[in-house]
Amino acid sequence: MKLVLLFIIFLTSFSANGYHDNDSSFDEDEIICIATYELAEDFFLQMKDPSTSEEMKKRKQSLLDKYDEGHFPQEDIDFYILEIHYAWSANFDFLPPILENCRENIS
């Protein structure tokens, strides 16, 4: 759990300290969840669980649909996907707490 909190703090501070060259008028938690759902979608598809994969896809799309297309810059989504993937690779139990946080707190 400490790793999850450190990771979220790292992402937030990294983005606040100049990663975004463009207008970062989006909610940092939402873009982290979009990236997490995308990773989870691929993971569950590879695990031969198409229904859970589809649920992750719907959750991601639900967040994206709240705003105009392009609101979340794809380069930022890709950045978070990569960071979450690295953290997940280092600690396999890393993804479930983020998914739980997204499901409970971000909609």
Predicted local distance difference test score (pLDDT) of residue 24: 52
- The answer to whether 43 and 95 are in contact (CB under 8 A) is yes
User: Which range among 5-14, 16-25, 49-58, 95-104 has the greatest average pLDDT?
Assistant: 49-58
Torsion, Cα 15 9 94 66, to 10 degrees, reads -50
This model's pTM is above 0.75: no
pLDDT surpasses 60 at 9 = no
pLDDT tens digits along 40-56: 999 999 999 999 999 99
pLDDT surpasses 70 at 78 = yes
Q: What is the distance between the alpha carbons of residues 66 and 88, in angstroms, rounded to a whole number?
A: 27
Q: What is the distance between the alpha carbons of residues 76 and 3, in angstroms, rounded to a whole number?
A: 22
Whose tokens are 């989006």? That residue is: 26
Confidence band, pLDDT 50/70/90 cuts, at residue 80: very high
Whose tokens are 């989870």? That residue is: 40
pLDDT surpasses 70 at 22 = no
Whose tokens are 């396999």? That residue is: 92
Q: What is the distance between the alpha carbons of residues 34 and 39, in angstroms, rounded to a whole number?
A: 9
